[in-house]
């Protein structure tokens, strides 16, 4: 493998400016990650605080017992208990077969930054992946995209779950899941590593029950030797630890909401769109009831908390009683999850994708309102995997990787199609159409004099002649296209591998396509590359 850096703009304008360290977005964040001493400063800030390290370590250890482990994982748990240790954290939803590539890129980013900062600081830095098991959007995690002949097919795992159930409560049917994974691999093709990869997946299915557990098992199978720790945001043990901060969030709900709204107003005043949907009544908490995860609002007139559907109504006193007795029913939203994370963990840095950078940029006053700090926000590594065949196709088509990543191949393909057109033939067809139209005009005029009843027949006859000419033209053009099909196939392959359906590779492709091709050591090879967190796009030649 070889690593090459390229300048490719981020998909989000706000994130792009943040990555470039532009003045216009600096004030939306607490730390300047471009400063050489930023992580030392953050480390010193964290050492002044107290964390429930033992409780969190027990929670993580209990959750991870179900998954593949290693000496490195045990060492990370021991280090977490040490008050000198800090963590690099990032998170994602529990996608099937680990979801899109960007989830893997995020985990690589977490591990690599933790390794780098452990060397630089001379203190234990632990990689932690926060799984959004409390999320209820089944449609976001129940599929992957599989490569078809022309474009990608969205392959859904079709099993119904009642209501807005949290991902960590969704228990899948093992036989259905196994059949679905076989279907996915049929699109990847039978390769020398297919049998091994299916065995890994079958092992994960056999040893897990829920979407979150299935995801966690696969992640730990491939990343256990790097000391990665996992935490499920829906873990009931974690909820017990979170109770005090949930109380603070309830007490300070209006201050948090107002802080975010004011920051959004500032952001919009500078020409950026807001990333978080929130109104003045938001309580920024979900309540889980009968498999329904309902977002709560506060009604200031009646002084009650109500769900969006108005089916749930609680006074503040009732809400505190429920929190004390049933903390597992409470969960954070996009605003309060970062606040909770900062309260729980000694976070040296948070690894964020472009969308996350945009919404974290609306949260600084909320952190300040809660008397805490926003951690340094480090953009995750943006990675594109470039296989040998695609690399060769790029050379043959005289295209650069960066060019394709930014705008795809459509314009270049169109220029090629124009270059192979026979303009003389097109002119002949067009000229013949015009001659026919002129002659038929005379014929129709004469028929009008002889027998007006046959005018429509003449017009139909002309239309038929034109259609035949156009049919002939299409056939000749198809022949030309077929003649150059090898070149056109190269354009298609380059687009499909690097900019599928006009999207970044990381949003469409799944890691198991590459594991199926190259084997389980593929991830180890990715992790052995010398990444720099410099904002440049990482092109990895396989």
Q: What is the pLDDT of residue 11?
A: 80
DSSP per position, 158-169: -----TT--GGG
Q: What is the pLDDT of residue 422?
A: 65
482 pLDDT above the threshold of 80: no
Tens digits of per-residue pLDDT, 22-73? 989 999 999 999 999 999 999 999 999 999 999 999 999 999 999 999 999 9
Tens digits of per-residue pLDDT, 59-82? 999 999 999 999 999 999 999 999
Structure tokens at 359: 């919404």
Tens digits of per-residue pLDDT, 81-96? 999 999 999 999 999 9
Return d(Cα 448, Cα 451) in angstroms, integer. 6
Return d(Cα 330, Cα 173) in angstroms, integer. 27
Count how many residues are written for the chain.
542
Could you identify the residue written with the tokens 């807005």? 164
Percent of the chain with pLDDT over 70: 99
Mean pLDDT of 174-187: 97
Closest residue by Cα to residue 93 from 134, 58, 53, 65: 134
Return d(Cα 343, Cα 247) in angstroms, integer. 13
Structure tokens at 91: 């998170």
Q: Residue 417: which pLDDT band, with cuts at 50, 70 and 90?
A: confident
Residue 335 phi, psi dihedral angles, 5° rounding: -80, -45
Sequence-distant (≥ 6) Cβ neighbours of residue 490 within 8 angstroms: 393, 396, 397
Return d(Cα 515, Cα 519) in angstroms, integer. 5
Closest residue by Cα to residue 351 from 378, 312, 386: 378
Return d(Cα 501, Cα 509) in angstroms, integer. 11
Residue 31 phi, psi dihedral angles, 5° rounding: -110, 145
Sequence-distant (≥ 6) Cβ neighbours of residue 245 within 8 angstroms: 339, 340, 343, 344
Q: Residue 268: which pLDDT band, with cuts at 50, 70 and 90?
A: very high
Sheet strands (E) in 80-124: 86-92
Among 81-95, 217-231, 305-319, the range scoring the smallest mean pLDDT is: 305-319
Could you identify the residue written with the tokens 């590593």? 193
250 pLDDT above the threshold of 90: yes
Sequence-distant (≥ 6) Cβ neighbours of residue 326 within 8 angstroms: none
For residues 357, 362, 366, 368, the Cα torsion angle rounded to the nearest 10 degrees is: 70
Q: Is 34 strand, coil or helix?
A: coil
Q: Is 279 strand, coil or helix?
A: coil
Count of other CB atoms within 10 angstroms of residue 126: 26
Q: Residue 495: which pLDDT band, with cuts at 50, 70 and 90?
A: very high
392 pLDDT above the threshold of 90: yes
Question: How many whole angstroms from its chain centre is CA 138?
Answer: 15
Sequence-distant (≥ 6) Cβ neighbours of residue 343 within 8 angstroms: 245, 370, 372
Task: Supply the mean pLDDT for the chain.
Answer: 94
Q: What is the pLDDT of residue 202?
A: 98
Q: What is the pLDDT of residue 301?
A: 92
Tens digits of per-residue pLDDT, 318-338? 999 999 999 999 999 999 999
Closest residue by Cα to residue 335 from 278, 289, 383: 278
163 pLDDT above the threshold of 90: no
Between the alpha carbon of residue 272 and those of residues 24, 28, 266, 298, 539, the distances in Å are 10, 12, 9, 28, 29
Q: What is the pLDDT of residue 261?
A: 98
Q: Is 293 strand, coil or helix?
A: strand
What letter does residue 330 receive in the DSSP assignment? E
Mean pLDDT of 380-387: 97
Within 13 Å and on the Cβ side, how many CA atoms surround 94? Answer: 29
Return d(Cα 41, Cα 30) in angstroms, integer. 12
Structure tokens at 432: 């013949």
For residues 366, 372, 373, 378, the Cα torsion angle rounded to the nearest 10 degrees is: -80
Count of other CB atoms within 10 angstroms of residue 402: 16
164 pLDDT above the threshold of 70: yes
Q: What is the pLDDT of residue 537?
A: 96
Count of other CB atoms within 10 angstroms of residue 91: 23
Within 13 Å and on the Cβ side, how many CA atoms surround 506? Answer: 19
Percent of the chain with pLDDT over 90: 78
Structure tokens at 505: 């590779």
> Edge-to-edge strand order for the sheet containing 292-299?
313-314, 304-307, 292-299, 282-289, 330-332
Mean pLDDT of 356-370: 97
124 pLDDT above the threshold of 80: yes
């Amino acid at each position: 493998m070889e690593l090459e850096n390229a300048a490719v703009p981020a998909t989000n304008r706000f994130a792009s400016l943040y990555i470039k360290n532009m003045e216009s977005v600096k004030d939306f964040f607490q730390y300047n990650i471009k400063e050489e001493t930023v992580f030392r400063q953050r480390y010193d800030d964290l050492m002044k605080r107290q964390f429930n390290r033992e409780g969190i370590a027990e929670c993580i250890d209990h959750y991870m017992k179900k998954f593949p482990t290693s000496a490195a994982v045990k060492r990370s748990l021991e280090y977490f208990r040490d008050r000198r240790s800090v963590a690099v954290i990032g998170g994602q939803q529990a996608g099937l077969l680990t979801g899109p590539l960007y989830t893997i890129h995020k985990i690589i980013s977490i591990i690599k930054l933790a390794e780098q900062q452990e060397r630089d600081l001379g203190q234990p830095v632990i990689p932690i992946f926060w799984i959004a098991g409390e999320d209820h959007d089944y449609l976001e995690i129940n599929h992957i995209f599989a490569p078809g002949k022309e474009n990608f097919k969205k392959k859904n795992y079709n099993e119904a779950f009642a209501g807005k159930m949290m991902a960590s409560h969704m228990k899948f049917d093992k036989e259905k899941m196994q059949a679905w994974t076989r279907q996915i691999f049929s699109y990847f093709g039978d390769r020398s590593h297919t049998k091994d990869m299916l065995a890994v997946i079958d092992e994960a299915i056999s040893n897990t029950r829920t979407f979150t557990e299935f995801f966690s098992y696969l992640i730990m199978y491939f990343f256990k030797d790097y000391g990665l720790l996992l935490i499920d945001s829906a873990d009931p043990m974690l909820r017990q630890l979170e109770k005090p901060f949930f109380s603070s969030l309830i007490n300070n709900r209006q201050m948090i909401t107002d802080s975010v709204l004011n920051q959004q107003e500032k952001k919009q005043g500078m020409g950026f769109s807001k990333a978080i949907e929130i109104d003045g009544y938001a309580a920024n908490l979900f309540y889980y009831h009968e498999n329904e995860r309902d977002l709560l609002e506060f009604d200031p007139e009646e002084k009650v908390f109500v769900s969006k559907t108005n089916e749930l109504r609680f006074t503040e006193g009732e809400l505190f009683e429920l929190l004390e007795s049933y903390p597992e029913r409470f969960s954070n939203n996009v605003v309060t999850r970062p606040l909770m994370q900062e309260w729980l963990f000694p976070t040296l840095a948070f690894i964020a994708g472009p969308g996350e950078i945009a919404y974290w940029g609306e949260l600084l006053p909320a952190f300040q309102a809660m008397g805490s700090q926003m951690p340094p926000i480090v953009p995750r590594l943006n990675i594109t995997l470039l296989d040998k065949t695609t690399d060769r196709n790029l050379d043959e088509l005289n295209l650069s990787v960066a060019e394709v990543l930014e705008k795809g191949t459509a314009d270049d393909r169109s220029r090629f199609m124009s270059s192979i057109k026979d303009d003389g033939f097109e002119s002949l067809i067009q000229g013949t159409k015009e001659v026919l139209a002129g002659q038929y005009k005379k014929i129709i005029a004469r028929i009008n004099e002889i027998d007006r009843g046959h005018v429509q027949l003449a017009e139909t006859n002309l239309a038929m002649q034109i259609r035949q000419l156009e049919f002939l033209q299409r056939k000749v053009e198809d022949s030309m296209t077929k003649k150059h099909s090898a070149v056109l196939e190269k354009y298609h392959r380059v687009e499909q591998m690097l900019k599928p359906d006009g999207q970044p590779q990381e949003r469409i492709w799944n890691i198991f396509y590459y594991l199926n091709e190259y084997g389980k050591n593929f991830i180890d090879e990715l992790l052995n590359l010398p990444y720099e967190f410099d904002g440049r796009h990482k092109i990895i030649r396989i």
